[in-house]
Amino acid sequence: MSTGSVEDIYSDLYSTFSQLTCTTADDIEQLPYSIDLKTSLIFVGSTVGGLLFGYDTGVISGVLLNLKPEDLSRPSLTDFNREIITSITSIGSFLGSIIAFPLADRCGRRITLAICCMVFIISGIWMALSRSLLFLVVGRLIVGIAVGVAAQCTPIYLSEISPANVRGFMLTLNSVAITGGQLLSYMFAFVLRDLSQSWRYLFGISAIPAIMFISLLDFIPESPRWLVTRGKFPEAHSALKMIYPGASVHQINLKLRRLIIDLGKLNHYNDIDEPLLQQSRSFLMNLNSSILSQANSIEVPVINNLVQPSNSYSSLPNQRSSLKRKRHVHKMEARTKRALMVGCTLMFFQQVTGFNAFMYYSPIIFSKLNIQDPLLPAILVAITNFLFTFVALRYVERVGKRSMLLYTVVIMIIGLLLCSTGFEKNNLNLLLTSIVIFVAGYASAMGTVPWSCVEFLPLNRRSFGASCISCTNWLTNAIVSLSYLSIIDKIGDSSTMLIFAMFSTFSWIFIYFCYPEVRGLSLEEIGKIFENGIDIYNVYRNYY
């Protein structure tokens, strides 16, 4: 056991804990995870935010197709009016991503999602009752704020409650909810298309899933990791029991012990209140006593030493301690910046490759091609997007996110090049085929993986980093959706597809050189990849 600085103490403590969990085979992060009714309610309920995210972003395509100028007391609706109605949600989502950062850290992930659902209910009713363009735009702005909060908070929550061996699956499940919400919006638009002012019903329907989430709130636990950062250790223990209903008390105690140890380690990189550290040490001592009574293989001296600060710490020169702390702060800041660079850049490429241009405006695109019912090919796009999200769901853990991205971005590029040719030759069959190819490639990885980049970030920077990643998404989304119709009017559809293909090529190059594989790693292990540069092949070198 080290007798040096606090950093040395917690480093040895963490190392000893790793040996302990390996020898006892009680690390529930790595044990097979069974999905039963209780855990299904947790994960399905927590993806309602993703469902609402998808529905409220996809519904605009059906709304624009059925919205009449007289519905909003206007003589006409220009392309610019349509772009404003569409893009204002992305601007609202940008603001929501900023709000979500302090809200999720202060109120918790669970309560933040509940607040978000209340906003979805209010905005859905607001938009359904809109009688003017301004009123509708304000409603779209409000729902955008809720979408931004949900888009940021849901991946954080899922990443923090999911075991390491199913985290990729659970994060991709959120993407399934998003694409499912988009598909539902198209289906409802198709079914209700003959109703007068059907767009009002489309907006009103969005309140239903939000009401469902609030009704399930008692079955959804708070993030144990967040609870630990607030010193709510008994509540964290209860939350872990809800998430791991088949785990023994001994396994739950070991998991909670590890979370508290990681909280102590964060103190070397960021200011954590000393009372919280003292509280964590006290609780950890009691927890170790409980673990000791359940596992005779743990030696008493080791347990006691792990929670007692070294006597020599107080005698260390202050200057040396200060210099060491500065080095650790710099190390953590560098790690966070690298992780943020990867997450934000990948999210930027997710938007500039053009998918949401198809999602928002495909009915308008196909209506200009003189198709009798432009919603039908638009539904084909949504179905493709939904179905191929299951490809990501099935293979993201087996193949790995990095490999999935590298394979599927090539498919996206091929689809966009064929799409450009389809527009140039005005060949409807080629156009539909190429769009399906592009959307299939996009949904299989690029549509899902960027949202999981929150797992790269340390716990005490996760909400802030998720906010940055989400803001990048919505700012880029707003620029694309606000300019797409104007751009195709100036340079044509074919040239616009070539621009999207160019950005897709740049994204492949970035992934190849900068995106690391993290398959099977715990959130705490992922941080090591970014400590000294970006160790892209860390997993392959150490585990495969």
Where exactly are the structural domains of the chain?
A: 6-31+222-305, 37-220+330-542
Rounded percentage of the chain residues whose pLDDT exceeds 90: 29
Q: Are 408 and 445 in contact (CB under 8 A)?
A: yes
pLDDT band of residue 209 (cuts 50, 70, 90) is confident
Q: Per-residue pLDDT for 181 more than 60?
A: yes
**CA-wise closest residue to 470 among 482, 458, 491, 452:** 452
Q: Per-residue pLDDT for 304 more than 60?
A: no
pLDDT digits (tens, 9 = 90+) for 249-260: 777 888 888 877
φ/ψ of 214, rounded to 5, equals: -60, -35
Q: Which range has the worst mean pLDDT, 56-65, 139-148, 284-293, 507-516?
A: 284-293
> Distance (Å, rounded) from C-alpha 116 to C-alpha 92?
13
Average pLDDT in the chain: 80
Q: Are 445 and 405 in contact (CB under 8 A)?
A: yes
> Distance (Å, rounded) from C-alpha 120 to C-alpha 139?
10
> Distance (Å, rounded) from C-alpha 161 to C-alpha 154?
11
> Distance (Å, rounded) from C-alpha 289 to C-alpha 282?
11
Mean pLDDT for the stretch of residues 294-300 = 43
pLDDT band of residue 392 (cuts 50, 70, 90) is confident
In three-state secondary structure terms, 456 is helix
Higher pLDDT, 265 or 315: 265
Structure confidence at residue 53 (pLDDT): 84
Structure confidence at residue 299 (pLDDT): 39
φ/ψ of 277, rounded to 5, equals: -65, -40
Higher pLDDT, 118 or 308: 118
Structure confidence at residue 328 (pLDDT): 54
pLDDT band of residue 523 (cuts 50, 70, 90) is low
**CA-wise closest residue to 53 among 134, 158, 129:** 158
The CATH class given to the 37-220+330-542 domain equals: mainly alpha
Q: Are 393 and 176 in contact (CB under 8 A)?
A: yes
pLDDT band of residue 471 (cuts 50, 70, 90) is confident
Q: Are 308 and 436 in contact (CB under 8 A)?
A: no
Contacts 24+ apart (CB under 8 A), 105-111: 105/226, 105/463, 108/222, 108/223, 108/226, 108/227, 108/230, 109/153, 109/156, 109/157, 109/160, 109/222, 109/223, 109/226, 110/157, 110/217, 110/220, 110/221, 110/222, 110/223, 111/222
